[in-house]
């Protein structure tokens, strides 16, 4: 029996291979096409992004105005002509350097001016004044007993308080500061030589008494000491007699010195202050106190608290007539008190606020010695609290 031959799988697979190869080629073509399309799309997006960036850059350049355009033009010019651009750049560099230097100098000058202005302002001292928080109130000022008062800050020349400071009034034994100055101005004055009290030294105006009897003999130094410290009238009278030309020449010298100190309303009739015709003002007395402070003997003698004096026939003890000084209630470099009925109680002081700052205080016309003393204490408290 004859059998029909069957096709084999190997023959079929062999026939399928060419078809599979064609399909692979077609697939590769399709993939390449897709990849090319993808690259095209990516390139297009990149181009759009660059265009957007460029566009925004152009807008920013336009927004900067003329300066941006000038810089763009300069860049193009630099690309077109390098040597010329370099020359311009050098010129611009030099100009910029000059402008920068000028600006720096101006800035330095402005800075120096600004720095100097506060320094000058800080250098100017603040004007001193008495403060209400220190008790300097309208009510406390009403309790000042002296009729005329003048308080002067010597460092700045600033009046800190005044009441009736231009009123002319008797000054009593405050006179003795001028007596001491005129007497010490003599060129030849041996302080160890002794002076004797005579009848010419007695008070024939007020008929006051003294412990210095006629015939008492004191050294010139002791005469000055008790005249200033204890306001001894016969000592001051003896000093005025002990002057070239005698007492009239001495009184003339006192008045001349007052005029030289700028005290036009001040007048002296005697050396003791017992005359009510010895007059001045609280303001003018401040000038006399300043002048008296230049004499070392006046400073030391007026501030001494007590002194034992040899009068030739025994000894006498004197104390300071100013209780503020005697009891150490104030610190001063010069002081003097005075009283006659016509003047009331007077006191002048050159206080040292905080032991260093000089302030002159002149007080005239208190009805009582305690009133004058309390005025001095009150004013000293104002000063110590208010001033540095």
CA–chain centroid gap for 283, Å, is 25
217 is catalytic: no
From 146, 176, 343, 386, the catalytic residue: 176
d(C-alpha 347, C-alpha 339), whole Å = 9
From 148, 231, 240, 372, the catalytic residue: 231
For every residue of 84-96, DSSP letters joined together read: HHHHHHHHHHHHH
For every residue of 208-251, DSSP letters joined together read: ---SS-TT-EEEHHHHHHHHHHS--HHHHHHHHHSSTTHHHHHH
d(C-alpha 61, C-alpha 44), whole Å = 26
Nearest to 317 by CA among 225, 190, 203: 225
- Count CB-CB contacts under 10 A for residue 140: 14
Is 221 within 8 Å of 191 (Cβ atoms)? Answer: yes
Nearest to 348 by CA among 271, 284, 261: 284
Strand partners of residue 364: 148
The order of strands in the sheet holding 148-153 is 158-163, 148-153, 357-366, 344-353, 332-340
33 is catalytic: no
d(C-alpha 383, C-alpha 243), whole Å = 40
H-state helical runs in 64-167 = 66-80, 82-123, 138-142
To the nearest 10 degrees (0 to 180), the angle between helices 82-123 and 66-80 is 140
Coil, strand or helix: which one is 370? helix
Long-range (24+ apart) CB contacts under 8 A made by 153-160 are 153/128, 153/357, 153/359, 153/387, 154/290, 154/350, 154/358, 154/359, 154/360, 155/128, 155/357, 155/358, 156/125, 156/127, 156/128, 158/127, 158/128, 158/129, 160/128, 160/129, 160/130, 160/359, 160/383, 160/386
What tokens were used for 326? 């005697």
Coil, strand or helix: which one is 367? coil
From 173, 230, 321, 386, the catalytic residue: 173
22 is catalytic: no
Catalytic machinery residues: 173, 176, 231
């Amino acid at each position: 029996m004859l059998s029909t031959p069957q096709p084999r799988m190997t023959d079929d697979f062999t026939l399928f291979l060419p078809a599979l190869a064609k399909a692979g080629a077609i697939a590769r073509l399709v993939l390449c096409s897709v990849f090319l399309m993808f690259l095209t799309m990516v390139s297009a997006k990149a181009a759009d992004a660059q265009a957007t960036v460029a566009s925004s850059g152009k807008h920013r350049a336009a927004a900067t105005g003329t300066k941006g355009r000038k810089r763009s033009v300069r860049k193009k010019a630099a690309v077109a002509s390098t040597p010329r651009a370099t020359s311009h750049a050098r010129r611009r560099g030099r100009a910029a350097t000059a402008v920068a230097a000028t600006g720096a100098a101006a800035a330095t000058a402005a800075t120096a001016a600004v720095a100097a202005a506060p320094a000058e302002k800080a250098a100017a001292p603040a004007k001193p004044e008495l403060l209400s928080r220190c008790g300097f109130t309208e009510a406390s000022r009403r309790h000042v007993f002296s009729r005329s008062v003048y308080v002067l800050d010597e460092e700045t020349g600033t009046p800190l308080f005044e009441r009736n400071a231009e009123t002319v009034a008797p000054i009593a034994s405050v006179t003795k500061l001028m007596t001491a100055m005129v007497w010490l101005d003599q060129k030849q004055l041996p302080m160890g030589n002794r002076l004797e009290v005579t009848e010419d030294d007695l008070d024939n105006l007020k008929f006051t008494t003294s412990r210095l009897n006629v015939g008492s003999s004191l050294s010139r130094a002791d005469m000055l000491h008790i005249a200033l410290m204890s306001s001894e009238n016969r000592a001051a009278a003896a000093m005025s007699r002990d002057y070239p030309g005698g007492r009239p020449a001495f009184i003339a010298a006192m008045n001349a010195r007052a005029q030289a100190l700028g005290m036009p309303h001040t007048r002296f009739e005697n050396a003791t202050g017992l005359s009510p015709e010895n007059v001045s003002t609280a303001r003018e007395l401040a000038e006399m106190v300043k002048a008296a402070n230049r004499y070392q003997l006046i400073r030391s003698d007026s501030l001494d608290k007590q002194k034992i004096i040899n009068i030739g026939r025994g000894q006498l003890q004197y104390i300071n007539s100013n209780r503020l000084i005697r009891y150490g209630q104030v610190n001063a470099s010069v002081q003097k008190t005075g009283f006659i009925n016509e003047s009331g109680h007077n006191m002048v002081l050159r206080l040292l606020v905080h032991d260093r700052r000089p302030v002159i205080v002149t007080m005239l016309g208190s009805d009582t010695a305690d009133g004058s003393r309390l005025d001095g204490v009150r004013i000293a408290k104002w000063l110590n609290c208010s001033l540095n």
